[in-house]
Amino acid sequence: MSYYVTNENSVLNINNAHLKVSGNVMTDVMKLGAIEFAPPASDVGGTVNFTNVTTGVTTSSNLSVGGTLSLGTVEVVATTHTLANTTANGNVTPHTVQFSNATTGLVTTANVEVGGELTVSGNVEVGTANLFVDTVNSRVGIGTTSPGYLLDVQSTSDAADKNMTRLYSAANASGVSSTGLRVEKGTGYGGIVKGFISQGVGSGLSLHTLNGGTDVQAMTIMNSGNVGIGTTDPVSSLHVKVPSSTSLVWGTTITNPYNGIATTQGIGLKLQMDGSATWYGDDKWCGVAAVAEGNYSDELGLAFYTQGNIGSDPGNAPTEKVRIKHNGNVGIGVTSPQAPFHVKPVNNTSDAENTLLDFRGDFTGSNHGFLGIYATETHTNGVGPDLRFKGAVYNNTANPTINQVMCLKPTGNVGIGTTNPSSKLTVNVIPQHRASYDHSLAPLTVTNRTPTSNGTLNDPKHVLNLAREGTSGEAYGARATFKLSRWENNYVNSRSRLDLDLAHDQYNEVTVMKWYSNGTVNLSSGSAVDSDDRIKYNEEDIPNALETLNKLKPQKYEKLLFAPEKTGKWIPSDNDWDTLKLNDGYTWIHEYGFIAQDVKNIPELAFLVNGEEMQIDTKTSAPEEYSNLTTEEQSTYTLSYVYESNTITQSEYSNLTPEERGLYSTQYTKQIETQTPLALNYQGLFVVAIGAIKELKSKNDALEARISALESA
């Protein structure tokens, strides 16, 4: 049976009867006065038993409990609740809720709001290792339940770029504003790390130091990547500014702590550029390093490294190019410079030139040029390096002719216009001669590059000018000129003529003497020799001049002028002459004269013969020439050392210091006994002949007088 009460003012009144409800009671409003429940499942009077597992009791108003309320699980879904006086498990503090579950005393999926202080005697964990407060060790862990530090932040993420902590504050609209992290040891000592923004300048990171509370900005890192030390406005990738000082200030110190028995340690600064995969694909770098030059780093040098591709090999590591040694010596291409400026050529190919210095003029003008200094690693004769000076004038020419200006050889020979000087000073390339002709015998060799010809003879060309400055330029000055030419055509054989010209009158050249290779000498006028009585002493008349002259034996002969070799026994014997004189290497002429040995055997005339038939010569060989000799030939030489005009023996050299030894060069010498022709003073014979003529005249006068007397008788 169902009963419906539809009028809001109507009620259902049951008197002296029971209302039994086995199902649900549905009503918008149910007003109960005093009600007593005694459900069958409970033997406790005044008990209500709710069996609905979802909503046993639902109320939108207050629930007032005068006695004790025992609850299993309480879910509070309303927004505001007031605990008037809750006492649980013996806790006598008013307005207190005490949870006795040791594992989960209070569990909530919503927010917990605490208006006063929250006191926790144990640890506090929020989430699962999200936030953990270790109240025993006074540590806080984020991402860990075992913080090892006062604040320990950990993450299990392996993301390549992960921000772990953020300190944030709003930026100021003008000026400089910053957010900082302050680290102090004691009050006012330590430092501050600040993130800043400077309006109109940029943003970045600044590091400050604290000393007694004084804040000093020590380092600045700008958003551009520039780093400043000692400056707040770095203008380069690394900008170091030291305090103002009148003495030397070291701005940066980089230390390698190793200090042992080794000479390989060092510390350097690397400067690198990113490479391109298209061009060999390597990052190239240069650097400067302090390197040990002695054990325990007692001696330090400075090394400069550079890198570049050689061929198509991208693996070329930077190599040391310049070294400043601990003693101040500077080396280019050498790691142990032995002189204040020591250069090792890069190209080791024999006779290859390496540029040392290049002086160039203005390339924008119509005329410009350069002067270069070059060195060779190894010359073709085994000695190097040569030092060469070369120059050119472009005259708007892309590829001008490079002129050989000067060459200095390790042997001390100097070449002007030639790279192979064979004498102490050689000017221009030496003409081709027979191999036996040794130009090194002369300290000076000068060549006029105008060639001779078979068709043109007696065309003297300048080979040497000697001049003396006058009081006014050329005025009152003096000059002598030597010229060379061929005077006779004899196939490939030389017929040389040497002219001597002297300045005369208006500085005009006047030929005063000509020497011919056949021994002839032409003078422009009569010759004269000093014959002043004031320089002559103990004068004597020549007695028996006619008798002395009669001892002479005038002869006609073939006279040797030149032989291919003039060392040792080089003069042919009479038996060999008729064969050797036909060789191209021998030059000879027909001549009238006397034999010097015969004149020397005449006591009265012996002093007119000069020289000795043999003399001792010293032959010097450079190391490269000595190395080409046979073992037997080398055994005839003696080792010695020479510096300028000083020559010392091997034993003396061994007593020198290493620095002194570096001044000397090596040479090999041997003594050679060489034939030398005797010379005869024909002018003296002329004087004897005058005496003989006078004696003949006296005898002739006496005979004439006698004949005249006989004729008169």
Beta bridge partners of 471: none
Would you tell me how many other CB atoms lie within 10 Å of the CB of residue 542? 16
Q: Are 206 and 217 in contact (CB under 8 A)?
A: yes
- Both tokens of 594, joined, read 């006397």
How far, in Å, CA of 354 to CA of 375, rounded?
5
How far, in Å, CA of 424 to CA of 406, rounded?
12
- By DSSP bridging, strand 190-198 and strand 202-211 are antiparallel
Q: Is the pLDDT of residue 589 over 60?
A: yes
Residues 589 and 602 in one domain: yes
Angle at 206 between CA 203 and CA 209, to 5 degrees: 160
Residues 638 and 667 in one domain: yes
- Both tokens of 634, joined, read 């080398």
Residue 85: the pLDDT is 46
Q: Is the pLDDT of residue 21 over 70?
A: no
Asked whether residue 339 is domain-assigned, the answer is: yes
- Both tokens of 430, joined, read 């030496």
Residue 395: the pLDDT is 61
For residue range 136-152, what is the model confidence (pLDDT) as tens digits?
A: 899 999 989 899 999 99
Give the three-class secondary structure for 174: coil
pLDDT greater at residue 2 or residue 318: 318
Asked whether residue 152 is domain-assigned, the answer is: no
The most confident of 434-448, 462-476, 630-644, by mean pLDDT: 630-644
Beta bridge partners of 322: 304, 332
Task: Pick the last residue of a domain from 325, 344, 363.
Answer: 344
Residue 43: the pLDDT is 61
For the ranges 97-101, 291-295, 336-340, which has the lowest average pLDDT? 97-101
Distances 216 to 177, 190, 255, 453 between C-alpha atoms, Å: 16, 11, 25, 90
Residues 630 and 609 in one domain: no
Residue 87: the pLDDT is 46
Tell me the one-letter amino acid at 459: D
Q: Are 642 and 665 in contact (CB under 8 A)?
A: yes
How far, in Å, CA of 410 to CA of 221, rounded?
57
Give the three-class secondary structure for 414: strand
For the ranges 35-39, 54-58, 109-113, which has the lowest average pLDDT? 35-39
Give the three-class secondary structure for 709: helix
Strand stretches in 65-213, DSSP E? 124-126, 131-134, 139-142, 151-153, 176-184, 190-198, 202-211
Spell out the residues 6+ positions from residue 489 whose beta carbon is closer than 8 angstroms to its own.
454, 457, 495
Residues 700 and 713 in one domain: yes
Q: Are 376 and 352 in contact (CB under 8 A)?
A: yes
Among residues 240, 306, 294, the alpha carbon closest in space to that of 266 is found at 294
> What is the layout of strands, in order, in the sheet containing 508-516?
461-470, 473-486, 496-504, 508-516, 521-523
For residue range 389-409, what is the model confidence (pLDDT) as tens digits?
A: 877 766 655 566 777 788 888
Q: Are 455 and 433 in contact (CB under 8 A)?
A: no
Residue 618: the pLDDT is 81
Residues 687 and 583 in one domain: yes
Cα 161 → chain centroid: 42
Asked whether residue 59 is domain-assigned, the answer is: no
Residues 266 and 329 in one domain: yes
CA atoms within 13 Å, Cβ hemisphere of 456: 9
Tell me the one-letter amino acid at 131: L
For residue range 665-675, what is the model confidence (pLDDT) as tens digits?
A: 899 998 888 89
For residue range 287-314, what is the model confidence (pLDDT) as tens digits?
A: 999 988 877 767 889 999 988 765 445 5
Give the three-class secondary structure for 575: helix
Q: Are 594 and 553 in contact (CB under 8 A)?
A: yes
Asked whether residue 469 is domain-assigned, the answer is: no
Domain count, the chain: 4
Residue 353: the pLDDT is 74
- Both tokens of 519, joined, read 């021994």
Q: Are 327 and 300 in contact (CB under 8 A)?
A: no
How far, in Å, CA of 430 to CA of 421, rounded?
8
Residues 567 and 707 in one domain: yes
- Both tokens of 83, joined, read 């605990």
Residues 702 and 597 in one domain: yes
Q: 157 — phi, psi (to 5°)?
A: -75, 140
Asked whether residue 660 is domain-assigned, the answer is: yes
C-alpha Rg value of the chain to the nearest Å = 60
Helix H or strand E encompassing 301:
strand 300-306
> What is the layout of strands, in order, in the sheet containing 238-240?
176-184, 190-198, 202-211, 214-222, 227-229, 238-240
* DSSP-assigned letter for residue 280: B
Q: Are 446 and 457 in contact (CB under 8 A)?
A: no
For residue range 345-374, what is the model confidence (pLDDT) as tens digits?
A: 666 565 667 777 777 665 555 556 677 777
How far, in Å, CA of 418 to CA of 404, rounded?
6
For residue range 110-119, what is the model confidence (pLDDT) as tens digits?
A: 777 888 777 7
Q: What is the mean pLDDT of residues 159-186?
A: 87
* DSSP-assigned letter for residue 67: S
For residue range 220-230, what is the model confidence (pLDDT) as tens digits?
A: 999 999 999 99
Q: What is the mean pLDDT of residues 96-118?
A: 74
Residue 86: the pLDDT is 47
**What is the pTM (predicted TM-score) of this model?**
0.48
pLDDT greater at residue 209 or residue 431: 209
Residue 601: the pLDDT is 96
Beta bridge partners of 305: 287, 320
How far, in Å, CA of 651 to CA of 640, rounded?
9
Residues 608 and 692 in one domain: yes
Tell me the one-letter amino acid at 240: V
With pLDDT > 70 as the criterion, what percentage of the chain qualifies? 74
Residues 708 and 584 in one domain: yes
Residue 84: the pLDDT is 47
CA atoms within 13 Å, Cβ hemisphere of 243: 3
Q: Is the pLDDT of residue 532 over 80?
A: yes
Q: Average model confidence (pLDDT) for the chain?
A: 80
Q: Are 96 and 87 in contact (CB under 8 A)?
A: yes
Asked whether residue 94 is domain-assigned, the answer is: no
Asked whether residue 57 is domain-assigned, the answer is: no
Beta bridge partners of 276: 280
Residue 11: the pLDDT is 67
> What is the layout of strands, in order, in the sheet containing 341-343?
266-273, 284-292, 300-306, 319-324, 330-332, 341-343
How far, in Å, CA of 207 to CA of 192, rounded?
6
Residues 299 and 199 in one domain: no
Q: What is the mean pLDDT of residues 188-203?
A: 88
**Torsion, Cα of 669, 670, 675, 681 (10° steps):** 50
- Which domain range does residue 294 map to? 262-270+283-309+317-344
Q: Is the pLDDT of residue 42 over 50?
A: yes
For residue range 380-393, what is the model confidence (pLDDT) as tens digits?
A: 444 567 888 877 76
Residue 223: the pLDDT is 92
Helix H or strand E encompassing 546:
helix 545-550
Tell me the one-letter amino acid at 396: N
Give the three-class secondary structure for 598: helix
Tell me the one-letter amino acid at 187: T
How far, in Å, CA of 8 to CA of 10, rounded?
6
Asked whether residue 495 is domain-assigned, the answer is: no
For the ranges 23-27, 35-39, 524-528, 661-665, which has the lowest average pLDDT? 35-39
- By DSSP bridging, strand 176-184 and strand 190-198 are antiparallel
Residues 553 and 598 in one domain: yes
* DSSP-assigned letter for residue 511: E
